[in-house]
Structure 1
Amino acid sequence: MSSLAGRTALVTGGGRGIGRAIALALAADGAAVAVAYRRDEEAARKTVADIEAAGVRGHAFRASVDDLDECRALAAQVEAELGALDILVHSAGIASRGHGVADTDPAELERLLRVHAFGPHHLSQALLPLMRRAERSDMVFVSSVITDTKPPFTAPYTMGKAAMEALAEVLAKEERGNGMHVNVVAPGVVDTDMGRRLVRATTGIEDIRQADASSPFGHVCSPEEVAAVVRFLVSDGASYLTAQRVVIDGGTF
């Protein structure tokens, strides 16, 4: 990958799982990296320590992306403390509870849409003025293959991710003239806490390693494999690439 030295990134949900892997990958390529977290301060601080061990600046900001005021406050903190931002990765996410449409609590639907769609809209809007100052900027949305498969009992999550992808496509068209690249990565099952819960709920398998043998290339996708695609998307190698959706599922679907 090309060097990201001199660039500054913010990764929401960056304390754990896919977000953490992305934060560390960007730091390894030389970017200063801030992570936003909602509750797990210990995990966020551990991620920041690992970022700084790579020899770059690390920061942690507490914010709930489902809250408009907190999104705006986060954007103000980023500008005040970092002074610049040219990479924004929307990785914060939560799972739905697995109910059918007939039994879904309206509050759950609203919560999922706020986290996956409203939050990224609010935060992008608040940070666009800062990101437009950069000669090149990148925004990456972490979605899911669920928007392709649309399985039963997933309506809140599927709707949230589909709305997120629509936002990304619109932003790619609106911001290209400002030097911004906007892309989506859509993983399948990934070896994270959420992925392990999903495997248990859908297959009854307690240890996700038991799913390796039936997975493409002999293993469940790792967070680092998702992060490697994000590294490319924000690199010089993707200088003429925007409005793309990269599926990371080993060719399953």
Structure 2
Amino acid sequence: MSTLTGKTALVTGGSRGIGRAVSERLARDGARVAVHYGRDEAAAKETVAAIEAAGGEAFALQAELGVPGDAAALWAAFDARADGLDILVNNAGTTGVRHPIADITERDFDHVFAINTKAPFFVTRLALPRLRDGGRIVNVSTGLTRGGAMPELIAYGMTKGAIDVFTATLAKDLGPRGITVNAVAPGAIDTDMNADWLRADAEARKAVAEQNAAGRVGEPRDVADIIAFLASDDSRWVTGQWIDATGGQLL
């Protein structure tokens, strides 16, 4: 496919899990992909190498999110390698500590909001002068904002609820420029982020699979293919939407 030929994309957290699947899919569709990473340089290099081996074009850029000056550092690294942007995928995130409200400290709360909510807000703010008219912004949310977060993920769910509001509001603001803004909301996906319970606990994996209409655990490519549609011209009349990517988990 070559639906994105001539386009430049930036995927935050693009070296692992859903982010890697998105980076590889967008590159397969013809985009030049900036694969952002925070600390795992080896994973970013591996993702870039895989894209190039498949005939695509990509480069890695590093910026730790959730710290002062993170968005400016990210865009400085991007500007050194690219001129202008067409697709921004705000994928980087963390669940933070998995504690109920009684055990969450202010530090825990601030940390998860800094990465999941503040960083994409300011990354996007600084992206706007670089983002060409007709561009695409896709934010990764979660099914927990509609299905009710588990008590131990209350802070995480709140960060993504803010992203949902951000998505709808920004879509209206950027509409006159032909820029669409949408949120994709995965359920439990088989990634490193969920490895400690989803891969290690056979009963938990079975329970997650039984919650989905398809009777299986979601894979990164299941989400990446939806994001690829939203990044393409085919999605030009879809904006401000929260798209359920849970495989029917909320039915």
State the TM-score bracket (shorter-chain normalisation). over 0.9
> 8 Å contact 2:85–2:130 — kept in the other structure?
yes
| CA deviation after TM superposition for structure 1 residue 6, in Å | 0.3
Deviations 1:164-204 (A, max 9, x none): 11111121111111221100000101011122334369xx4
Could you tell me which of 218, 221, 224 is aligned with 1:224? 221
Moved over 6 A (4+): none
CA 101–212 in structure 1, closer or farther in 2 if over 3 Å, else same: closer
For 1:92 and 1:38, the matched residues in 2 are separated by 9
Counterpart residue number, 1:10:
10
> 8 Å contact 1:33–1:51 — kept in the other structure?
no
Task: Specify every segment of 5 or more residues in structure 2 that has no aligned partner in the other structure, as ranges.
Answer: none
For 1:241 and 1:210, the matched residues in 2 are separated by 33
| CA deviation after TM superposition for structure 1 residue 215, in Å | 4.1
For 2:237 and 2:207, the matched residues in 1 are separated by 40
> 8 Å contact 2:212–2:248 — kept in the other structure?
no
For 1:206 and 1:63, the matched residues in 2 are separated by 37
Superposition RMSD in Å: 2.0
Counterpart residue number, 1:234:
231
Deviations 1:135-162 (A, max 9, x none): 3100000111111122212121011111
> 8 Å contact 1:196–1:207 — kept in the other structure?
no
| CA deviation after TM superposition for structure 1 residue 205, in Å | 3.1
Counterpart residue number, 1:249:
246
> 8 Å contact 1:196–1:208 — kept in the other structure?
no
For 1:145 and 1:54, the matched residues in 2 are separated by 32
For 2:83 and 2:31, the matched residues in 1 are separated by 14
3-state SS of the aligned residue for 2:163? helix
* Corresponding position: 1:53 with 2:53: yes
> 8 Å contact 2:188–2:208 — kept in the other structure?
no
* Corresponding position: 1:187 with 2:186: yes
| CA deviation after TM superposition for structure 1 residue 2, in Å | 6.1
* Corresponding position: 1:154 with 2:153: yes
CA 31–193 in structure 1, closer or farther in 2 if over 3 Å, else same: same
3-state SS of the aligned residue for 1:21? helix
| CA deviation after TM superposition for structure 1 residue 86, in Å | 0.8
For 1:162, the aligned partner's letter is G
For 2:22 and 2:233, the matched residues in 1 are separated by 17
Counterpart residue number, 1:137:
135
Structural mapping, 1:199-210, within 5 Å: 199=198, 204-205=201-202, 208=205
* Corresponding position: 1:66 with 2:66: yes
Task: Specify every segment of 5 or more residues in structure 1 that has no aligned partner in the other structure, as ranges.
Answer: none
TM-score normalised according to structure 1 size? 0.92
For 1:191 and 1:25, the matched residues in 2 are separated by 17
For 1:211 and 1:186, the matched residues in 2 are separated by 16
> 8 Å contact 1:79–1:130 — kept in the other structure?
no
CA 206–13 in structure 1, closer or farther in 2 if over 3 Å, else same: farther
For 2:102 and 2:63, the matched residues in 1 are separated by 32
> 8 Å contact 1:36–1:61 — kept in the other structure?
yes
* Corresponding position: 1:88 with 2:85: no
| CA deviation after TM superposition for structure 1 residue 129, in Å | 0.2
Counterpart residue number, 1:34:
34
| CA deviation after TM superposition for structure 1 residue 232, in Å | 0.7
For 1:207 and 1:152, the matched residues in 2 are separated by 17
Deviations 1:6-56 (A, max 9, x none): 000000001100000000000000000011111111000000111222323
Identity %: 39
For 1:147 and 1:9, the matched residues in 2 are separated by 27
For 2:136, the aligned partner's letter is D
Number of aligned positions between the proteins: 249
Counterpart residue number, 2:43:
43
